[in-house]
Amino acid sequence: MKQNDSRMLQTTSAIRPIPRDLPSEYHNPLVYHDSTIYDSEEVELREYWKVLVKYRYLIALTVSCLTVFSLLFAFTVTPRYTASSRIRIGTYEPVLSATKVEDVFQEQSKETHYLETQIQEIRSFSLADIVLKNEQILNGVKTEEKSGFFSFLTGSSSDRIPDEIDQVSGYAHSIRRIRDYLDRIDVTPIRRTSLVSIHATAEDAKLAAIMANEHALQYIEWVRDNRVKQQSRALTFLRKQARELRQSVTEKERAIADYAEKNSIVAVNSDENITAQRMAQLNTLLTETTAKRIEAENQYTKSQESLSQPTAGFDDPSIQTMRSELGKLRGEYGQLLSKFTPEYPRMKELHAQIEGLSSAIQMQRSEIVEGLRAKSESLKIEEDRLKEELEKQKSLTFELAKRQVEYNVLKSEIESSRSLLQDVERQIKESALAVEGKSSNVSIVDYAVTPTAASYPKKSLMLLAGVLLGVGLGIGLAFLLNYLDNTVRTPEDLSQLVRLPSLGVVPSFLSDHSNGAQGRLPLDAENTDSEDRLPIASPQLPPIAFLHDPKSLAAEAYRTIRTGILLSQAGEPPKTVLVTSAQSSEGKTTSAMNLAVSLATAGGSVALIDADLRRPSIGKYFHLPLHIPGVVEIVTGQASVEEVGLSHLVRR
């Protein structure tokens, strides 16, 4: 007997995969229930290490292939160069201070998302379309489209995608061309600053620098042009509004003039008109006339009361002169009266003069009182006339006040239109100056220079990536194949799969008939004739290890299995042992024969039953005739166990 490369296999040299749909628990006294072995929730690290060692050649092959591919790609791909220009996007500074037109742009440039908006505009299709108008850049982009890694297999992008200009979009170049150009442009803001870097990548180092500088310059011009266009549109709109406002003001002035003429409204100033002024004058005159009339009435009353008195406060100078003359005459008359009698001529003359002068004074005072009465009455008449005139003026004023409401509305509209017209004209002047100024808040900080080293590919980084990717992919494939591989290779695999303990492992062995030797089954003393000896096995059958080579590894393995069976139950070993397998030709008969012989040699009585009704093979070991009764006859009742059984085949 010889071993197959000294490999230990269970029962046969190649155990086929066992189906996974076996019961999770088999109620057998040999089943172990150690959860620390079969129900472990965590896979130990050594199990992972076993998988890696098992598929180490696959992992090494994967790493080698990806490393070689990375090197091949790194040294065959067309190198690319990156040039960078730097611009500053600051706050917009207006040309004129304190102008409303440019204050809008200044406030927009102060918004938090303004810088992000500008970055997106730098990568806009519109700006790219303008940059591609540079023939040198356009030709360079077209040339580089036809080159590239594996381009000889896939063809250039120009051959696969038609270069047609989209008439609807309004761009001068095709969308594909613009996208291809933008794929070469990268915009990166510098943190905590107003600076933005524009990176351009091309296979030609000089072309990369030209692209970066041209993109920055065209962006500055584009921002300036957009602002000028906005201001120009605003200027056009303001001029149109100014014309409409002038026409509106003219029409409103004409309307208010017609309304004032129709309703007799004459404005003296911005606050009053003629009617209101006339009413104020009448009111003043009435007040003055009333005061004079009251004063005249008082003087007339006092003058009437003073007529009986020798003197009055209203005497004029003539009366006072006559009163003085009267006093003199009375004085002279009094002096002469002491000397002469009233009949004296001189006394009569003086008495006549005194009487005449007194009458004159009384007449003069009466005339003055009459004059005061006439004055009082005339003032009363004037007062009544003024009152009547004032009432008429009030009625007229109230009527005009009603008409003044509409007049004031028209007047207010005119003033608003004039004010708006002035604001529009001022904004027109400011916008015109802003358009002429063409100021911009974007400026170039650094121009791009021609790069001296390629930015792509980075060979060391690409090699490292290939190695790491190969290691990761190899390990992934190893665990995937290990997961898909359900072949039983070790006793531990079998125990974990069927959840039954392993009693032992039988090495692979084959019968060696080159020297013609065959194992013989020893008979007992009653049957020792050479004619009754039966061969143990034919040359086509595996040998019985216990008889062919009792000291072989196979015989020792069956002794281990025998010991495990005898010690599997406390107190009493099992009485019946069933040997079976999932498929045919897996060593059931060989194992049953050797196990039976091992139990028999240990001193026990063993009955070996060939229960394979389809292809029984134990009888071939003894060259038994095929027509002798067996298990089928026992089951069907055609024969008894005593009639079928063969006893005393193995000597104790």
Strands in 185-189's sheet, in edge-to-edge order, are 185-189, 195-202, 81-89, 442-446
pLDDT tier at 536, thresholds 50, 70, 90: very low
At 543 the pLDDT is 66
Lowest mean pLDDT among 94-98, 169-173, 229-233, 448-452: 94-98
Q: Say which residue, 91 or 652, is predicted with more confidence.
A: 91
Which pair of tokens denotes residue 337? 């009266």
Asked if residue 212 has pLDDT above 90, the reply is: yes
Q: Say which residue, 50 or 2, is predicted with more confidence.
A: 50
pLDDT tier at 35, thresholds 50, 70, 90: very low
Asked if residue 126 has pLDDT above 80, the reply is: yes
Write the pLDDT tens digit of every residue in 294-315.
877 777 776 666 555 555 555 5
Cβ proximity of 144 and 202 under 8 Å: yes
The four Cα atoms 294, 300, 302, 304 give a dihedral, to 10 degrees, of -150
Query: What phi and psi, each to the nearest 5 degrees, are found at residue 164?
Result: -110, 140
Residue 78 is classified by DSSP as P
At 471 the pLDDT is 94
Write the pLDDT tens digit of every residue in 257-274.
887 777 766 654 444 556
What average pLDDT does this structure show over 333-357?
Answer: 75
Residue 198 is classified by DSSP as E
At 158 the pLDDT is 45
Asked if residue 446 has pLDDT above 60, the reply is: yes
pLDDT tier at 148, thresholds 50, 70, 90: low
The count of other CB atoms within 10 Å of the CB of residue 556 is 14
At 503 the pLDDT is 82
Cβ proximity of 466 and 66 under 8 Å: yes
Cα 556 from Cα 598, distance rounded (Å): 10
Mean pLDDT of the chain: 75
pLDDT tier at 82, thresholds 50, 70, 90: very high
Which pair of tokens denotes residue 36? 């620390």
* Amino acid letter for position 127: L
Cβ proximity of 50 and 479 under 8 Å: no
What average pLDDT does this structure show over 217-232?
Answer: 86
Please report, rounded to a whole number, the percentage of residues in the chain having pLDDT higher than 70: 73
Q: How many CA atoms lie within 13 A of 158 on its CB side?
A: 9
Which pair of tokens denotes residue 180? 């291809």
Most confident of 39-43, 84-88, 427-431, 483-487: 84-88
Lowest mean pLDDT among 39-43, 469-473, 555-559: 39-43
The count of other CB atoms within 10 Å of the CB of residue 72 is 12
Write the pLDDT tens digit of every residue in 622-640.
777 777 788 888 888 888 8
- Which positions ≥6 away from 379 have C-beta within 8 Å? 289, 292, 293, 296
Q: Say which residue, 584 or 92, is predicted with more confidence.
A: 584
pLDDT tier at 562, thresholds 50, 70, 90: confident
Query: What phi and psi, each to the nearest 5 degrees, are found at residue 456?
Result: -150, 135
What three-state secondary structure class fits 86? strand
Q: Say which residue, 178 or 613, is predicted with more confidence.
A: 178
What three-state secondary structure class fits 418? helix
Question: Per 3-state DSSP, what percentage of the chain is helix, strand, and coil (rounded to 5)?
Answer: 60, 5, 35
What average pLDDT does this structure show over 403-413?
Answer: 79
